[in-house]
């Protein structure tokens, strides 16, 4: 019997026996208790090294001024010199506990570190310099949970009051009285805590040798920069930070944007967000007043989104904590941002990140699949290439080079001639 069903059965047993004063049922369940670190120690743990570290994991990616910055979830940021995509070189590392997302604007790298926002001077990308930290920028953020058990949210809040930072989880088994279990939240508390389990091309890109501007992020990003502002989506809130001053500052109160927003993509003066149940569209014509325009629902599943020429491409994949068994590529007409409409959907194997550049669509699915997207209705008949046997995670297409982060490392492809797409390089990730 799975844990959720067992808890529900226990609940009904409790209801049926509740009027018998001497009967006290117990429930046994598994739950994640927080592992914590003193806040001062946590905030002093940042280390910048000019020596590259072994690539032992993969996460979000951001490209800036000839360099690729890659998050190793929870641990730090790898710096890859990609000025020659045929010969990428790891040249530095930032040890940054709790990092997942990152973005660069005008030589400043902004990155999350669990509950804080940290920034570095990357005018010399191979030699980043720590500039500062905005404490409690993301006060509700908790580490990713890798198993199917819930979390003890009450313990997390108690530690927070003691100036501790949650940096991980320890799964334990508990047996207690049903009435005590329900008094602390019970099954519905488990569901609520599940909201913490979730795991974009910029408005102005930079050239391979240019300075300034904004980085280009992969489609899995929860950070995006628009004008002078950094937008982040964490859990069900959007945070906006003003980057125009010497230090980033919280620009406005958080905006509720829907349940468990996972990704954000900037297109013109709009933000497209992916959630487990659909795509949201917000206007940022007034940057500090994001305005909800519309949503379009799809089957339950994890989904990034990218947009080009008023066409939005969304992948939905199953597995892990994302939802059901749907694996699809969905294509929408978003010319009317208030009334998006679905054009077509295609079955996929297990798609994740995706990118679009001048009608060439890149999808991490059963490796890397590349399509001519000129006509969404005939997309499947216009596949340009398929590089199989790679567990792709996310991509950045830029300047006719496709950068893909996968489970085994960084793969790059030359698509200057879409009829002869070729592999440029591979930088491996160390097997766990």
CATH architecture of 45-138+198-428: 7 Propeller (2.130)
CA distance 60 to 77: 9
* Model confidence pLDDT, tens digit, residues 323-374: 466 789 999 999 999 999 999 999 999 899 999 999 999 999 999 999 999 9
Q: What is the mean pLDDT of residues 242-260?
A: 89
CA distance 334 to 404: 26
| Confidence band of 54 (pLDDT split at 50, 70, 90) | confident
| Confidence band of 183 (pLDDT split at 50, 70, 90) | low
- Label residues 280-309 b or e (16+ Cβ within 10 Å = b): bbbbbeebeebeebeebebbbbbbbbbbbe
pLDDT at 3: 46
Domain-wise residue ranges, the chain: 3-41+145-196, 45-138+198-428
Handedness of CA 108, 128, 207, 393 (dihedral sign): negative
pLDDT at 193: 39
pLDDT at 298: 60
pLDDT at 176: 83
423 or 20, which is more confident: 423
Evaluate whether 4 touches 10 at the Cβ level (below 8 Å).
no
* Model confidence pLDDT, tens digit, residues 375-390: 999 999 999 999 998 9
pLDDT at 56: 84
* Model confidence pLDDT, tens digit, residues 125-164: 989 999 999 999 998 888 888 888 888 888 999 999 999 9
Phi, psi of 153 (to 5 degrees): -65, -35
- Considering the chain, what is the average pLDDT of its residues? 85
Residue 130 tokens, joined: 């720590």
CA distance 209 to 84: 11
- The answer on pLDDT for 283 being more than 90 is yes
pLDDT at 319: 63
Burial class (CB in 10 A: 0-12, 13-18, 19+), 175: exposed
- What is the percentage of the chain residues whose pLDDT exceeds 70? 84
Helix axes 153-161, 186-193, angle to 10 degrees: 70
pLDDT at 188: 42
Q: Which of 346, 353, 259 is nearest to 305 (CA)?
A: 353
Q: What is the mean pLDDT of residues 161-181?
A: 88
Q: What is the mean pLDDT of residues 4-8?
A: 47
pLDDT at 197: 34
From 53-57, 79-83, 228-232, the region with the lowest mean pLDDT: 53-57
pLDDT at 16: 46
pLDDT at 213: 83
* Model confidence pLDDT, tens digit, residues 216-234: 999 999 999 999 999 999 8
Global pTM value:
0.86
| Confidence band of 262 (pLDDT split at 50, 70, 90) | confident
pLDDT at 1: 47
Q: What is the mean pLDDT of residues 17-24?
A: 50
Q: Provide the H-helix boundaries in 106-168.
A: 153-161
């Amino acid at each position: 019997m799975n844990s959720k069903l067992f808890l529900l059965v226990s609940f009904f047993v409790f209801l049926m026996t509740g009027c018998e004063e001497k009967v006290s049922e117990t429930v046994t369940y598994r739950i994640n208790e927080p592992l914590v670190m003193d806040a001062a120690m946590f905030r002093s743990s940042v280390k910048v090294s000019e020596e590259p570290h072994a690539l032992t994991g993969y996460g979000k990616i951001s490209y800036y001024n000839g360099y690729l910055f890659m998050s190793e979830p929870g641990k730090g940021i790898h710096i890859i010199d990609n000025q020659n995509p045929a010969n990428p070189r790891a040249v530095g590392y930032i040890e940054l506990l709790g990092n997942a997302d990152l973005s660069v604007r005008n030589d400043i790298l902004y990155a999350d570190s669990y509950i804080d926002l940290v920034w570095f001077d990357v005018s010399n990308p191979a030699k980043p310099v720590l500039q500062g930290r905005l404490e409690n920028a993301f006060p509700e953020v908790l580490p990713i949970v890798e198993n199917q058990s819930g979390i003890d949210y009450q313990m997390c809040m108690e530690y927070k009051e003691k100036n501790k930072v949650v940096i991980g989880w320890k799964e334990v088994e508990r047996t207690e009285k049903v009435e005590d279990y329900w008094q602390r939240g019970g099954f519905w508390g488990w569901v609520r805590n599940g909201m913490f389990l979730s795991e974009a091309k910029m408005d102005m890109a930079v050239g391979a040798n240019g300075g300034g501007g904004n980085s280009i992020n992969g489609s899995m990003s929860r950070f995006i920069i628009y004008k002078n502002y950094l937008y982040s989506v964490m859990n069900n809130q959007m945070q906006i930070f003003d980057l125009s001053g010497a230090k980033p500052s919280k620009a406005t109160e958080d905006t509720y944007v829907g349940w468990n927003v996972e990704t954000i993509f900037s297109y013109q003066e709009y933000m497209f967000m992916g959630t487990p149940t659909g795509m949201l569209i917000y206007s940022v014509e007034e940057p500090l007043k994001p305005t909800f325009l519309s949503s379009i629902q799809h089957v339950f599943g994890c989904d990034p989104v990218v947009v080009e020429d008023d066409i939005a491409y969304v992948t939905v994949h199953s597995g892990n904590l994302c939802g059901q068994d749907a694996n699809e590529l969905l294509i929408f007409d978003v010319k009317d941002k208030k009334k998006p409409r679905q054009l077509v959907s295609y079955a996929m194997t297990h798609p994740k990140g995706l990118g679009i550049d001048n009608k060439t669509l890149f999808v991490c699915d059963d490796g890397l699949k590349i399509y001519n997207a000129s006509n969404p209705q005939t997309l499947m008949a216009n596949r340009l290439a398929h590089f199989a046997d790679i567990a792709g995670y996310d991509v950045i297409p830029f300047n006719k080079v496709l950068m893909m982060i996968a489970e085994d490392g960084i793969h790059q492809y030359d698509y200057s001639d879409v009829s002869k797409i070729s592999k440029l390089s591979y930088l491996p990730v160390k097997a766990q």
